[in-house]
Copies of this chain bind each other. A is one copy, B any other.
């Protein structure tokens, strides 16, 4: 069994003992789901996005999640201020560049964040990460474009590793196959279920899970794997329990699965390989 996988799964226990406070600056579509999944996995969420208080809130936290969905200009300065406060305090910054490539505002903001903040974990879909890596991407709104996946896995892994090295960060690309790398170590995950794309915010929630894991342990690649794997396995369990009922029940079962997840369940369901 992969050592990386084993260590990641065991982090779920330390997360629940530590109960890290995870500061989110995020979008208004999925913020409630992000708060609930952070609680479900065993961490504690705090949402605060006014630039008059955000740095003070970050100073209380164990990790910071910046999510660019429904970006608005009022909170861009908050993201930068909190990102810098997190860097100063030495807590991990998880950046979810929702919709990067879809508008100039998002592109410029993503550029500003990557320039002014040291991002520790970059989690997005293939189109978003390709865009940030400077490659051409075919963004259609906030979902990954099929054209971007058509090239196959090998070039995506190369791109992720290169970006991770260049930015000294963990890159987590989620999709049918998830790619997680710190530039040296790389794990692919093939868990999850297509129905996850029929519920809004599963990407945002995945970033919250990554923020929760990363707030509890120092090895951020392990944290990113823990978060992404928890989402994938929870998706499979939720589909088994409630998938045939519809997306409403599936979404409830997804939260149930995260809140009752154990390291053992993660290990048993994991379909991963190191590359």
Stretch at the interface among A38-46, A111-119, A163-171: A38-46
Contact assessment for B31 and A29 in the assembled complex, using a CB-CB cutoff below 8 Å: yes
The complex places the Cα of A60 from the Cα of B103 at a distance, in Å, of: 10
Stretch at the interface among A66-74, A180-188, A266-274: A66-74
Question: Which residues does chain B contribute within 8 Å of A28, judged by CB atoms?
Answer: 28, 31, 47
Q: CB of A106 within 8 A of chain B? A: yes
Q: CB of A256 within 8 A of chain B? A: yes
Q: CB of A49 within 8 A of chain B? A: yes
Contact assessment for B259 and A21 in the assembled complex, using a CB-CB cutoff below 8 Å: no
Contact assessment for B252 and A39 in the assembled complex, using a CB-CB cutoff below 8 Å: no
Contact assessment for A44 and B141 in the assembled complex, using a CB-CB cutoff below 8 Å: yes
The complex places the Cα of A7 from the Cα of B45 at a distance, in Å, of: 37
Question: Which residues does chain B contribute within 8 Å of A73, judged by CB atoms?
Answer: 50, 52
Q: CB of A218 within 8 A of chain B? A: no
Question: Which residues does chain B contribute within 8 Å of A89, judged by CB atoms?
Answer: none
Which residues of A101-124 have CB atoms within 8 Å of chain B's CB atoms? 102-106
Contact assessment for B103 and A45 in the assembled complex, using a CB-CB cutoff below 8 Å: no
Contact assessment for A255 and B260 in the assembled complex, using a CB-CB cutoff below 8 Å: no
Give the nearest-CB partner of A242 in chain B.
B256
Contact assessment for A256 and B248 in the assembled complex, using a CB-CB cutoff below 8 Å: yes
Contact assessment for A141 and B60 in the assembled complex, using a CB-CB cutoff below 8 Å: yes
Contact assessment for B256 and A245 in the assembled complex, using a CB-CB cutoff below 8 Å: yes
Give the nearest-CB partner of A23 in chain B.
B141
Question: Which residues does chain B contribute within 8 Å of A47, judged by CB atoms?
Answer: 27-29, 69-70
Question: Which residues does chain B contribute within 8 Å of A258, judged by CB atoms?
Answer: 246
The complex places the Cα of A125 from the Cα of B252 at a distance, in Å, of: 28
User: How many Å from the CB of A157 to the closest CB on chain B?
Assistant: 27
The complex places the Cα of A72 from the Cα of B143 at a distance, in Å, of: 28
Given A70-B47, A102-B60, A141-B44; A251-B200 close (CB under 8 Å)? no
The complex places the Cα of A210 from the Cα of B205 at a distance, in Å, of: 28
The complex places the Cα of A197 from the Cα of B248 at a distance, in Å, of: 18
Question: Which residues does chain B contribute within 8 Å of A176, judged by CB atoms?
Answer: none
User: How many Å from the CB of A245 to the closest CB on chain B?
Assistant: 5
Given A32-B29, A70-B47, A201-B32; A53-B103 close (CB under 8 Å)? yes
Question: Which A-B residue pairs are the 10 nearest by beta carbons?
Answer: A246-B256, A248-B255, A53-B103, A35-B200, A53-B105, A248-B252, A247-B259, A246-B259, A46-B141, A248-B256
Enumerate 10 A-B pairs (CB-CB under 8 Å) in ascending A order.
A28-B31, A39-B197, A40-B246, A44-B143, A48-B103, A50-B73, A52-B104, A53-B104, A57-B102, A57-B103
